[in-house]
C-alpha cells in the first residue's frame, strides 16, 4: 500500500490516479497511524512552506513521517512542496523550520538577471547530476512539468540528482538514502513521469 499524505495542499487525486494507472493501491490519508503502516510514503503538495509545515505538525503527521521514513526506512517520494518541506528552513513569507531531512534552505527563485517571471510554470528538460534508480529508463529529453516560485538550495551537492534551468540553476530532484523528491510533478509529466512513479514502486533502497 502506498500512503499519500493529505495535509490540505496538493494534487492528491491526480497522484493517486497515476499510481492506480500503474496497477498499485494508493490511500490518501491524514491519519498518522495509516502513514506508519504504509509500505511506501508519498508527500505531494502545492502551496506555502509555512502552511504546509503547520498542518503537518497540527495533525501529528511530521512525527508519523519521521517514524515511517527515518526510523523505519520506508521508501519516500516528495513532490513539489513535498520536496521543499524536506529542507532545514524555508524562506517563504518569513523563515520556517522544515523537516530537516535534506540539509539546505528553500528560497525564492532568482530571475532578476533573466527577466523571466515567477512562478515558473511549464515544461523543462532536466539534466542528471547523480545516478538514481528512480530515473532509470527516463530517456532524453527528460521533459517534466514544473509549477513553483521557490527552490531547494542543497548544502550538499551529493543530494542533488537532477537540475533544470529557469533564470538560474534549479534543483529538480534530490535523493538521500531512502528519500527521493522532485520539484516537478511526475503525475503531470506523461510517460516520463509514469516511468519515475513505476521506478518508485519497484525501488528497494
Q: pLDDT tens digit string along 76-120?
A: 999 999 999 999 999 999 999 999 999 999 999 999 989 899 999
Is 0.75 surpassed by the pTM of this model?
Answer: yes
2-202 has which fold? Rossmann fold (3.40.50)
Q: At what angle do helices 190-202 and 12-21 cross, to 10 degrees?
A: 70
C-alpha 62/C-alpha 100 separation (Å) is 11
CA atoms within 13 A on the CB side of 164: 24
**Catalytic positions, written as ranges:** 80, 185, 187
Strands 40-43, 76-79: pairing is parallel
Whether residue 184 has pLDDT greater than 90:
yes
Closest listed residue to residue 97, CA positions, set 53, 60, 135: 53
Strands 179-182, 26-29: pairing is unpaired
Percent of the chain with pLDDT over 90: 92
Whether residue 200 has pLDDT greater than 90:
yes
CA atoms within 13 A on the CB side of 138: 26
- 177 is written with which cell numbers? 538514502
Confidence of residue 8 (pLDDT cuts 50, 70, 90): confident
Q: Where are the beta strands (DSSP E) in the chain?
A: 2-5, 26-29, 40-43, 76-79, 89-90, 96-97, 104-108, 120-125, 127-128, 143-148, 150-154, 160-165, 169-176, 179-182
Confidence at residue 151, expressed as pLDDT on a 0 to 100 scale: 97
Whether residue 7 has pLDDT greater than 90:
no
Confidence of residue 159 (pLDDT cuts 50, 70, 90): very high
Amino acid at each position: 500500500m502506498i500512503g499519500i499524505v493529505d495535509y490540505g495542499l496538493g494534487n492528491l487525486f491526480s497522484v493517486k490516479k497515476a499510481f492506480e494507472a500503474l496497477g498499485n493501491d494508493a490511500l490518501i490519508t491524514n491519519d498518522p497511524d495509516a502513514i506508519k503502516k504504509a509500505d511506501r510514503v508519498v508527500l505531494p503538495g502545492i502551496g506555502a512552506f509555512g502552511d504546509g509545515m503547520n498542518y503537518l505538525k497540527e495533525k501529528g503527521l511530521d512525527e508519523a513521517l519521521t517514524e515511517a521514513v527515518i526510523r523505519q526506512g520506508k521508501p519516500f517520494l516528495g513532490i513539489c512542496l513535498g520536496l521543499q518541506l524536506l529542507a532545514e528552513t524555508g524562506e517563504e513569507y518569513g523563515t520556517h523550520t522544515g523537516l530537516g531531512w535534506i540539509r539546505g534552505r528553500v528560497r525564492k527563485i532568482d530571475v532578476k538577471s533573466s527577466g523571466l517571471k515567477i512562478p515558473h510554470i511549464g515544461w523543462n528538460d532536466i539534466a542528471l547530476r547523480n545516478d538514481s534508480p528512480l530515473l532509470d529508463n527516463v530517456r532524453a529529453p527528460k521533459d517534466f512539468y514544473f509549477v513553483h516560485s521557490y527552490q531547494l538550495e542543497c548544502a550538499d551537492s551529493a543530494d542533488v540528482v537532477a537540475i533544470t534551468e529557469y533564470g538560474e540553476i534549479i534543483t529538480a530532484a534530490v535523493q538521500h538514502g531512502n528519500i527521493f523528491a522532485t520539484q516537478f510533478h511526475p503525475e503531470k509529466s506523461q510517460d516520463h513521469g509514469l516511468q519515475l512513479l513505476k521506478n518508485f514502486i519497484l525501488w528497494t533502497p
